[in-house]
Structure 1
């Protein structure tokens, strides 16, 4: 059975709700009342598993970071916030090299957190599981289709990172780094090349490290 990767627990919201990936809202006084923090646990993916199961893997540069909005039809805060309501922003990646899949020249990566200063009651959503992107950052990203409860329209105009922050590596000086690990860029690309066409076993039983 796959172990879970702990990413902490702190949240501020008026109600408790469950999420399809094991995250949840939790009452806390550690954050302002206008802030939601999503935290909990998620599966601990190995590089080999991500290479095998990600439909798209790319190297690229962060060309723009979009404005945050709610995942509602009008992009505004709903009258009643439910478990599937969240603030998000899109990160546009200019693709330099395709390691797997057939993406277009630019890929929109959706990140389910952000800040809407003009919000009525909730102005900010923070997620301890989401990756962080910086403008002009060189990245290697394992990408997946967005079938989460947050993607209400089910539009195919964006992707999400595989394993949340585990699927995004910052590239600099020959190193590939994220919050979980640091390795050489060559080691990471070699692993991808070796496993990208493999069918990963199910149930998955990779070596896991508790964080």
Structure 2
């Protein structure tokens, strides 16, 4: 691969700083993780957005969360059609191999992916309608959610929260997820965080609303 380049100097410097401090102070824990393997209690499905820092929000250490990130924290419906599905594979591994007790879908404010879906659904993003747009085709997962909240005056926040609900609904289309949930071995959770305020809200299926934690 002729196009691969050396790591930028500032990242090399940060690595050496981490190795000399955090790693050195917790090397026994890292060795234990390496030899005993991972046993995370929860899987978190969050957005790729660099402002969403899952481990910081929950004060988590290495080995606590099995984290999968994608555009707009979406889970597609169960479709074993032979195509490559990174998110579906991550869910399968977490539930069937790691046997996590919780799957958390974490949405967030000012989500660029959700804004793209909103623009696409309202005719302002023809480039996302192109069949060659990976982002557009991924955001098709959220189109049904847009139809549910399209008249909500609290856009795009309403659609950000709906993205969490759509993902929770789609998770239950996976047979192994449904089985684990019905057996009481797995629980699903929907969260939405406000980046600027540091707030965290949880979805309550009884009230069909998000409430502050």
TM-score scaled to structure 2, two decimals?
A: 0.24
Bigger radius of gyration among the two: 2
Specify which structure has the higher proportion of helix. 2
- Structure number with the bigger relative contact order (C-alpha 8 A, sep ≥ 6) is 1
Q: Which of the pair is proportionally richer in strand? A: 1
